[in-house]
A and B are shown apart, each in its own frame.
Chain A
Amino acid sequence: MGTREQCFEQLLLGKAVESVGWLKPIRAEALDRARAMNFPSNRNDDWRFTDLSALYPHDFHPVVSFAKLTKADIKEYVIPGAIRLVFVDGSYSSELSDLPDIHEGVTVTSLLERLGDPLVEGIFGKHAPYKQDAFVALNTNFFEDGAWVHVAGDVTAPIHLLHVATKRETPSAIYPRNMVIMDSASGTTLVEEYIGLEDGIYFSNAVTEVVLKEQARLQHVRVQREERNAFHIGHCSVEVGKDSFYASTSLAFGARVSRHTLHVTQQGEGAEMQLDGLALVAGRQIADTHTLVNHAVPRGKSTQLHKCIADGSAHAVFSGKVIVQEGAVGTDSAQSSRNLLLSDKAHIDTQPQLEIFNDDVSCKHGATIGQIDADALFFLKSRGLTEERARNLLTHAFAAEIIARIQVPSLGESLGRTILERMNGERK
């Protein structure tokens, strides 16, 4: 145990997972690709800020026997009224899931159960780059299960995909794989959430593929509240169709090291994309968010607000690339990266990147890194609040702008509490 190569080798050992016919060659190719790769080094431009070395000392093993959890174990994460699909260490749990059949126009099931569906076959692996990205390749070969979400109408109940990691005897490797298809003119709110229940060491490597057809509307909330010693690498590829609306709110609070890569490709004219994010890290945490918005066709609109908050000696990274292709006339894009440093030892790297290949566009971007506003702090103290209370309140307020965009009230409140817990955990 110890080196980067050894750690990656150990992951490659994995365990063989049963497959249907069409999937076998894809898995095989993914494994081949993975074997030819390694963990990305910081010579790789997409990984230059992010130090993965905390991963290397660990031997991650596939999960062979699954923990039995009860509903009480996940109680605090339950979203009232939601359609809920729960996975424990990468495997589907029907006992913990809640799939009321009152909801028309929506199919929410385990992906494994659905592998025989030609619709799955038609989309799987078409968006997530398993031939280029080592983590996507690992996931593609080793995934056991994940969610299949197919929305045909207007679904008012939020759909909650809850991926739970438990503490194992040896560090585990978990590979959730989710697919989301939004039919024409359909609409819903999807909450994709990753949590850890006990303080274990595990490697959670998730891939999600999302397709929005014409005029579909999706609010996609991604919540990463893994355990403090966990590692989380997530990839999400989204394709948005004509006149559709895709809103992503992604939150990274947990894990020793985390990375979220979000690729959104505008395939249909007039589509609108809104990408919001919040990373809150403390202690020795590292949280990296990489987004790519690819305007491939005309009249697309994208807006993005990403915030990082770093305390302790934590490190937050944001890289937001926007590409406007030659034919993508009438593109309107705005990106803003706002960052809050709470300690002298914390640091934040933020990197907006614009690549514009035509003239008929409006693109704005800006980045700021600041500290707690001294006058606001003094004002709050002058009203009797302690330094710590005042700082927490201001930090919370900075985060609140993103949390407020989540249209699931109980989740917003729960996230607000998580923010306070994480902040208090650090400063004491």
Chain B
Amino acid sequence: MISKDSRIMLEVKNLHAEVGGIDILKGVDLTVRAGEVHAIMGINGSGKSTFSKVLAGHPDYHVTGGTATFEGKDLFALEPEERARAGLFLAFQYPVEIPGVSNSALLRLAYNTLQTERGLEELDPLEFEDLVHEKIKVVEMDPSFLGRSVNEGFSGGEKKRNEILQMAVLEPKLAILDETDSGLDIDALRIVANGVNSLLTPDNAVVMVTHYQRLLNYIVPDYVHVMDGGRIVRTGGKELALELEARGYDWLRAAA
């Protein structure tokens, strides 16, 4: 929901970044205000995941220029865990498996870390169980997934749901969802999208990286951005996604 006087949450200016000595991001600008839903689209390899990981603080990716502020703070001065505690969340395009760490243990550890950060009480295992059983309904996941190791042996779609479960538990201010819709079946897409919608408030915001218009039917974006060659080359409303669906990317790339 666009509301011009709502506060700026994330402001990225002229961001340049490299990985493994290769320049990937070449001047990204993006402003996200509270209450907004943004979609970032673009061809494979255009830099969408790189952008997401740079914001989250992945150590392999180096910022070579530009700035980013998150809730008024210099994002790049913060460690990844500090960014998370400040309310930034990244749902990974390829969630990692962590054998030996149960889903519920991870969720509780992460949740309690944030509680402490916010000056609130930690929850003991029983209290947390009640909370997580409420949250798991958001993504309609079977509670048996809580006892399993994080993502181990999960199907592609189950991993994506699990990311959104983490989002539901952690209640971030800004969630970046990197292709959370890829790999979801039609029903799961609807469930996950409804879940994300239910988490949206005027005080938080979502940036979705996606290739498909279908997701945007469920989670309607205020802005659609097109990334190409490490830059945002076009920004429009939700109708831009429809246009891309119809015309592909060539016309934009030629213009860029």
Contact = CB atoms under 8 A, between A and B. Distances in A.
Interface in A368-392: 373-376, 378-387, 389-390
Nearest to B87: A384
Interface centre among A376, A383, A385, A396 (most CB of B within 10 A): A383
Interface centre among A385, A389, A394 (most CB of B within 10 A): A385
Interface in A384-428: 384-387, 389-390, 393-394, 396-401
Contact of B59 (A373, A378, A393, A398): A378
B90 A384 contact: no
Contacts of A400: 100-101
Given A389-B109, A393-B101, A394-B101, A381 B81 contact: yes
A408 B83 CA distance: 40
Contacts of A375: 96
B126 to A, nearest CB: 17
Given A384-B81, A384-B117, A379 B96 contact: yes
B139 interface: no
B110 interface: yes
A399 B109 CA distance: 18
B84 to A, nearest CB: 4
Given A378-B58, A389-B109, A394-B101, A384 B96 contact: no
B58 A383 contact: no
Nearest to B56: A382
Interface in B102-155: 106, 109-110, 113-114, 117, 149
B71 to A, nearest CB: 15
A359 B101 CA distance: 41
Given A384-B114, A386-B81, A374 B100 contact: no
Given A397-B98, A397-B101, A401-B99, A384 B110 contact: yes
A396 to B, nearest CB: 7
Contact of B166 (A383, A387, A398): A383
Nearest to A393: B101
B42 interface: no
B100 A382 contact: no
Contact of B113 (A379, A385, A401): A385
A386 B100 CA distance: 19
A378 to B, nearest CB: 6
Nearest to B169: A383
B96 A376 contact: yes
Nearest to A378: B58
A382 B80 CA distance: 5
A401 to B, nearest CB: 6
Interface in B161-214: 166, 170
A43 B165 CA distance: 57
Nearest to B80: A381
A381 B92 contact: no
B99 A397 contact: yes
Contact of A396 (B83, B84, B100): B100
Given A384-B84, A398-B100, A379 B109 contact: no
B152 to A, nearest CB: 10
B117 A379 contact: no
Contacts of A379: 92, 95-96, 98
Interface string A90-106: 00000000000000000
A399 B101 CA distance: 11
B79 interface: yes
Contacts of A383: 84, 106, 110, 113, 166, 170
B101 A382 contact: no
Contacts of A394: 98, 101
Contacts of B81: 381-382, 384-387, 390
B48 interface: no
Interface in B77-95: 79-81, 83-85, 89-90, 92, 95
Contact of A384 (B60, B95, B113, B149): B113
A419 B184 CA distance: 39
Nearest to B105: A393
A384 B99 CA distance: 19
Interface string B46-68: 00000000001111100000000
A401 B114 CA distance: 28
Interface centre among B57, B95, B101, B117 (most CB of A within 10 A): B101
Nearest to B79: A381
Interface of B: 56-60, 79-81, 83-85, 89-90, 92, 95-96, 98-101, 106, 109-110, 113-114, 117, 149, 166, 170
9 contacts: A378-B56, A379-B96, A380-B106, A382-B57, A383-B84, A383-B106, A385-B113, A394-B101, A400-B101
Given A384-B117, A385-B113, 9 more contacts: A376-B96, A378-B59, A378-B80, A381-B84, A382-B80, A382-B81, A384-B84, A394-B98, A397-B98
